[in-house]
């Protein structure tokens, strides 16, 4: 329930959603000196941002385009941004530029990898590399899968999503009005100030509204954006699952990725394994024990994890924009015809690496 002292207040910025993008938008607005309210339907980090995986992997560096450039800029600058956030909050985000290895399954891929290596030289500003090498004894990857070697890059990194959320929350919460359990069901942006109507009957007034609540942003924004999209849906939610296992390791292992399966070593002898992409789902947060093919593929990819006990299970829904491109592009801009309404919706599977940049562009 919003306290009456806040219900008549006019905020500079109202933010819907307490994930990575909403928290970063709040952080930037606070640093600009704005009066901010953040409204989260459940709890901070309850959505797709609060999973286990934390893989910060770049798109392949060949066939370069604006999306890849933007993601590169995010991954390149994130380390410094995280250091600043950790210094301010004394909370570790579990960040490490660990790199990534991917098996080369047949020699037909050599030409493609050669183009990627050249693309990395041209587009990663010679600060990061991509190479083709043979499997080494300390690589956890199954050599039978990597018969023709490994594609290795030094740009990929990992972060602990929940610690990252906790650090942003620690900065934002004492510096703005933050309400959990506050569900926004209707937006009115016809006047100079926007109005957010909540399911409990309360209302919030703000000079501008930032909608950053993941896939649940689509029904809120559809009335304002559907016409520009020929009446079609502007996006959909895609469910994902991951597990966390306990596996003793040195904190120097790279991410292992192959055929949609992620193995992400984290500090504290934790390894995250994911993930699925389900378009047809009923309960977005219910873990489906029968849908564990991603785990089975990961064990085949990294056999050393076979006996590692599963200590956590996660299921959540990621946003997939259908406004432009193939649905992997982030969408952050003012809604045409509504200067006080801004959409801030993540890119499919890349939001953790670009959140600080995306929310600073609005």
| pLDDT tens per residue, range 235-265 | 899 999 999 999 999 898 999 999 999 999 9
Q: How many CA atoms lie within 13 A of 127 on its CB side?
A: 11
Which has the closest alpha carbon to 328: 345, 344, 347, 346?
A: 347
Q: How far apart are CA 362 and CA 344, in angstroms?
A: 8
- Whether 335 shows a pLDDT value over 80: the answer reads yes
Q: How far apart are CA 92 and CA 165, in angstroms?
A: 10
In this prediction, residue 313 has a pLDDT band, given cuts at 50, 70 and 90, of: very high
In this prediction, residue 5 has a pLDDT band, given cuts at 50, 70 and 90, of: very low
pLDDT the model gives residue 74? 96
- The pLDDT tens digits of the residues spanning 15-68 come to 999 999 999 999 999 999 999 999 999 999 999 999 999 999 999 999 999 989
For 20, other C-beta atoms within 10 Å of its C-beta total 29
Q: In the CATH scheme, what is the code of domain 4-358? A: 3.50.50.60
Domain edges within the chain:
4-358
In this prediction, residue 287 has a pLDDT band, given cuts at 50, 70 and 90, of: very high
Q: How far apart are CA 329 and CA 320, in angstroms?
A: 8
- The pLDDT tens digits of the residues spanning 138-189 come to 899 999 999 999 999 999 999 999 999 999 999 999 999 999 999 999 999 9
**E strands in 260-305:** 261-266, 270-274
Q: Does 144 sit behind a cis peptide bond, omega within 30 degrees of 0 on the bond before it? A: no
In this prediction, residue 360 has a pLDDT band, given cuts at 50, 70 and 90, of: confident
Give the mean pLDDT of the chain. 93
| Tokens matching residue 352 | 């953790």
β-partners of residue 130 are 153
């Amino acid at each position: 329930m919003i306290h009456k002292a806040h219900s008549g207040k006019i905020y500079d910025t109202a933010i819907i959603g307490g994930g990575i993008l909403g928290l970063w938008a709040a952080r930037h607005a606070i640093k600009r000196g704005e009066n901010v309210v953040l409204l989260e339907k459940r709890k901070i980090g309850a959505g797709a941002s609060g999973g286990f995986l934390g893989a910060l992997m770049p798109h392949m560096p060949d066939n370069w385009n604006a999306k890849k450039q933007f993601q590169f800029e995010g991954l390149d600058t994130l380390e410094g941004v995280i250091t600043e956030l950790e210094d301010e909050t004394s909370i570790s985000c579990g960040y490490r530029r660990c790199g990534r290895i991917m098996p080369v399954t047949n020699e037909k891929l050599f030409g493609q990898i050669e183009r990627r290596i050249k693309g990395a030289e041209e587009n990663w500003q010679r600060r990061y590399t991509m190479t083709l090498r043979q499997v080494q004894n300390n690589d956890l990857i199954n050599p039978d899968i990597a018969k023709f070697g490994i594609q290795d890059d030094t740009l990929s990194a990992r972060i602990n999503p929940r610690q990252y959320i906790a650090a942003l929350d620690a900065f934002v919460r004492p510096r703005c009005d933050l309400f959990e359990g506050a569900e926004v069901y209707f937006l009115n942006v016809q006047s100079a100030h926007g109005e957010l109507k909540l399911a409990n009957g309360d209302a919030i007034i703000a000079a501008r509204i930032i909608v950053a609540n993941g896939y649940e942003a689509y029904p809120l924004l559809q009335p304002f954006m559907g016409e520009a999209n020929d009446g079609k849906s502007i996006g959909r939610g895609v469910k994902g699952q991951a597990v966390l296992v306990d596996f003793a390791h040195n904190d120097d292992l790279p991410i292992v990725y192959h055929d949609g399966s992620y193995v992400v070593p984290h500090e504290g002898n934790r390894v995250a394994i994911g993930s699925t992409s389900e378009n047809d789902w009923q309960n977005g947060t219910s873990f489906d024990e029968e849908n564990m093919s991603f785990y089975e593929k990961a064990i085949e990819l990294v056999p050393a994890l076979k006996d590692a006990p599963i200590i956590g299970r996660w299921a959540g829904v990621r946003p997939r924009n259908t406004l432009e491109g193939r649905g992997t592009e982030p969408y952050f801009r003012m809604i045409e015809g509504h200067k006080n309404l801004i959409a801030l919706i993540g890119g499919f599977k890349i939001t953790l690496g670009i959140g600080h940049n995306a929310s600073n562009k609005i």
